Amino acid sequence: METAEKTLDEILTLAAAHFKVPREKLSADDDFFKALGIDSLQTLDLLTKLENHFHVELPDYELQGVTDFRTLATKIQARL
Amino acid sequence: MKQFQGQTLSWALKDGVIELALHREPLNEIGSLTLEELEKFVAVLDELSREAHALILYSTLKGGFCAGADLRQLYGWLQEFGQSEVAIQARAYLERIHAVMNALDAAPLPTIAAVHGVTFGGGFELALTCDLIIADKLARFCFPELRLGLIPSFGGIPRLKRDLGNAVVRDLLLTGRSFNTTKAQQIGLVSQVVGEGEVLRAARATATQMAKFDRTTAAAAKRFIKPIPLDELRHEIDIFCELLPRPAVRDGLKKFVENTGAQPYLP
């Protein structure tokens, strides 16, 4: 089982690579909409990328109101 | 008419394959104009099918295959017509949509939906008329209608039930959540999963394979295995038209249409 910190780090790395944002510019408590400059459609892409990477299902409704990487990591960690 | 260039979609018959491309910005929302152009297509489908061995539906837009019905148009009807009138208007529209969807479902040749990105609501229902769905890794499938106080109305429930069973329909319908391609393939919805940007190539390769088989046999096999669930489709229209005039629907549509937040596509 992955640790929460490792999960968070993998999310940041994956998001940075997919949306072509320097990894060092992202941090755990960033609002990922702002930090990545993404809209709702791109958020769905991120959700799919994360599900594929971690081999989990993350129902959309669990993301309602989630805006920062740390909370996102918590949601994923709960399904690993 | 072997090719057509419309405002919302285009088609062309080339090398024995009909390719229907959706290209209405922002995300192929199905409104009156798309319906009119789909009606033009199904009017010539039998004629085109005599020279073709497969039909591919796809989207040229980056965001995905189709976000579903044009909800702004539906909200406009609710504002324009009274409570009783809006159901009459919607029923007439849905009769036309169903005629198109049924014609695609029963097309006398194999059909492939090549989807990527958002494949939601009416877009998902359009894909469900096809014999196979080929999807790229980032496709997502969803019936978000319940959050508006409605049910899907383009034939999606009976078709998904026919193809996969009731439990899958209930999951998608009652939670409003979206499935990714991996999940969609696991449950039998998606036939092939391909990498990003590869979906049309994979669909064309599949169409080439289909060309190896006798056309009459393929059509007979399809008629045998893919009955159109006409009674349930009629019932779906009735339920939608009963639900539509309620204030909760108007409120749900208003909220969606006026939503400027970052997550309008998340149920």
| Residue-level pLDDT at A1 | 56
Q: Give the tens place of pLDDT for each residue, B67-88.
A: 999 999 999 998 888 777 999 9
**Using an 8 Å Cβ cutoff, are A38 and A54 in contact?**
no
Of B63, B176, B181, Cβ closest to residue A41? B63
Q: Please state, in angstroms and rounded to a whole number, the distance separating the CA atoms of residues B96 and B118.
A: 24
Alpha carbon of residue A38 to chain centroid: 12
Q: Give the tens place of pLDDT for each residue, B81-136.
A: 877 799 999 999 999 999 999 999 999 999 999 999 999 999 999 999 999 999 99
Residue count of chain A:
80
Q: At what angle do helices B230-243 and B156-164 cross, to 10 degrees?
A: 140
Arithmetic mean of pLDDT, A25-53: 91
Whether complex ipTM tops 0.90: no
Distance from CA of B117 to the nearest CA of A (A): 7
The full DSSP string for A27-80 is -TTSBHHHHHT--HHHHHHHHHHHHHHHT----GGGGTT--BHHHHHHHHHTT-
Residue B22 has pLDDT above 80, yes or no: yes
Specify the DSSP element, H or E, that contains B254.
helix B247-257
| Residue-level pLDDT at B177 | 94
Q: Does A60 touch chain B (CB under 8 A)?
A: yes
Q: Give the tens place of pLDDT for each residue, B202-243.
A: 999 999 999 999 999 999 999 999 999 999 999 999 999 999
Of A45, A52, A61, Cβ closest to residue B177? A61
pLDDT band at B19 (very low <50, low <70, confident <90, very high): very high
Residue B179 has pLDDT above 60, yes or no: yes
Residue B267 has pLDDT above 50, yes or no: no
Residue B35 has pLDDT above 90, yes or no: yes
| Residue-level pLDDT at B224 | 95
Chain B residues in contact with chain A using a Cβ-Cβ cutoff of 8 Å:
27, 63-64, 117-118, 137-140, 142, 175-178, 180-183, 261-267
Q: Does A48 touch chain B (CB under 8 A)?
A: yes
Q: Could you count the other beta carbons within 10 Å of the beta carbon of residue A65?
A: 9
Q: Please state, in angstroms and rounded to a whole number, the distance separating the CA atoms of residues B118 and A35.
A: 23
Distance from CA of A63 to the nearest CA of B (A): 8
Give CA angle at B249 (B248, B255), nearest 5°: 90
Give CA angle at B110 (B233, B30), nearest 5°: 50
Residue B1 has pLDDT above 80, yes or no: no
Distance from CA of A36 to the nearest CA of B (A): 12
- Give B180's strand partners: B140
CA dihedral B146, B152, B153, B156 (to 10 degrees): -160
